[in-house]
């Protein structure tokens, strides 16, 4: 794990030098973290629902639409790019970084709501849909699978199929219980200590997104610690974390305590629900509990994989043919 933090001495030297010359450099877009679509016009983007989103598509626009929903909240779709392979099998694959996430435009903390995230998904579908007969399928991972379920719960007749990979839960208490299990690190973990080391040197206010996103990205390294229960194979590839959207949606969850199961019994289409063998915080018991909110479930374990089962070869090679079989059955 030490190899991931060889950059620390060099980065500390850069921060010292930058601070001596021009203090504003740390928070300038493009230095600590990549620029978003707001500051880099070369990035593929769409303007919908009052904001600008980093987004791209693969495949024939006339094919069945497969919308990919990343985790977080506050991650981005880079780690799910294996899903491009569905484009070669007859699917129009849509990727977008959710509001305030990845390379999408940053927004004020008080502007977020769970309903707004659902409205964004509806707007993405409407933007790319080529006909009213075009089938729409959602593929969500972690938080993305929760977002997919919240959307299906609100629009049970609008979606023609769903693949859900290790959602934390669909009611707030299940989510809290799962998140608590995922955070059972040793406080002496080398990876965790390395990840938070620079946190004491860089501080940022709520509107200093570059600094906060950088710090948020550092904490993601803890998920690959040897003592993390998530069982991941390595460091997750990502462009830029979304610190404010992550904080805002968790605080909204605490306040609203959502239940996204109230209408799921109306959704009789079979879903594919997958969980990983190596994620000790999940397991069959939790998978059964969460997936039981749906009336028609195909529950499968992805062997040899951890929580990020759609990213690394062991999980993806097991998952992809299974997902294709499911999609072809719809």
Helix (H) or strand (E) holding 53: strand 51-58
Distances in Å between the Cα of 225 and the Cα atoms of 149, 175, 256, 289 are 30, 22, 32, 27
CATH of domain 1-330: 3.40.50.1820
Q: Using one digit for the tens of pLDDT, what is the confidence trace for 76-99?
A: 999 999 999 999 999 999 999 999
Per-residue confidence (pLDDT) for residue 216, from 0 to 100:
80
Per-residue confidence (pLDDT) for residue 53, from 0 to 100:
99
**Are the C-beta atoms of 300 and 66 separated by less than 8 Å?**
no
**Are the C-beta atoms of 306 and 232 separated by less than 8 Å?**
yes
Q: Which residues of the chain carry a pLDDT beneath 50?
A: 1-22, 186-202
Select from 66, 65, 39, 64 the least CA-distant residue to 54: 39
Kindly tell me the sign of the dihedral angle through the C-alpha atoms of 260, 166, 67, 270.
negative
CA distance 147 to 73: 10
Per-residue confidence (pLDDT) for residue 4, from 0 to 100:
40
Query: What are the residues whose beta carbons fall under 8 Å from the beta carbon of 209, sequence distance 6 or more?
Result: 106, 243, 244
Per-residue confidence (pLDDT) for residue 201, from 0 to 100:
42
Per-residue confidence (pLDDT) for residue 217, from 0 to 100:
82
Select from 92, 102, 105 the least CA-distant residue to 134: 92
Per-residue confidence (pLDDT) for residue 206, from 0 to 100:
58
Task: Indicate the domain borders of the chain.
Answer: 1-330
Q: Using one digit for the tens of pLDDT, what is the confidence trace for 238-250?
A: 999 999 999 999 9
Q: How many other CB atoms are found less than 10 A from the CB of residue 68? A: 24
CA distance 136 to 132: 10
Distance in angstroms between the alpha carbons of the first and the last residue of the chain:
43
Per-residue confidence (pLDDT) for residue 20, from 0 to 100:
46
């Amino acid at each position: 794990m030490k190899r991931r933090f060889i950059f620390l001495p060099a980065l500390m030297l850069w921060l010292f030098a930058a601070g001596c010359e021009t203090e504003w450099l740390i928070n300038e877009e493009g230095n600590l973290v990549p620029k978003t679509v707001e500051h880099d016009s070369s990035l593929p983007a769409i303007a919908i629902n009052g904001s600008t989103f980093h987004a791209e598509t693969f495949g024939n626009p006339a094919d069945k639409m497969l919308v990919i929903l990343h985790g977080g909240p506050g991650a981005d779709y880079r780690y799910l790019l294996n899903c491009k392979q569905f484009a070669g099998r007859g699917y129009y694959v849509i990727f977008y970084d959710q509001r305030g996430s990845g390379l999408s435009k940053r927004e004020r903390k008080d502007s977020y709501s769970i309903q707004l995230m659902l409205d964004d998904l509806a707007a993405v579908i409407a933007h790319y849909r080529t006909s009213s007969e075009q089938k729409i399928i959602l593929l969500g991972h972690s938080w993305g699978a929760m977002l997919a379920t919240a959307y299906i719960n609100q629009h049970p007749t609008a979606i023609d199929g769903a693949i859900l990979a290790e959602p934390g839960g669909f009611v707030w208490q299940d989510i809290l219980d799962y998140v608590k299990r995922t955070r059972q690190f040793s406080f002496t973990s080398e990876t965790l200590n390395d990840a938070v080391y620079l946190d004491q040197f860089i501080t940022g206010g709520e509107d200093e997104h570059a600094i906060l996103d950088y710090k948020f990205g550092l904490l993601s390294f803890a998920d690959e610690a040897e003592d993390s229960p998530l069982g991941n194979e390595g460091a997750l590839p990502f462009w830029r974390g979304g610190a404010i959207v992550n904080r805002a949606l968790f605080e909204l969850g605490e306040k609203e305590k959502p239940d996204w199961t109230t209408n799921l019994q109306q959704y009789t289409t079979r879903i594919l629900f997958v969980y990983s063998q190596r994620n000790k915080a999940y397991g069959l018991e939790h998978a059964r509990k969460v997936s039981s909110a749906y009336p028609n479930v195909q529950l499968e374990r992805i062997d040899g994989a951890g929580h990020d089962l759609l990213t690394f070869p062991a999980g993806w090679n097991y998952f992809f043919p299974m997902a294709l079989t499911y999609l072809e059955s719809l």
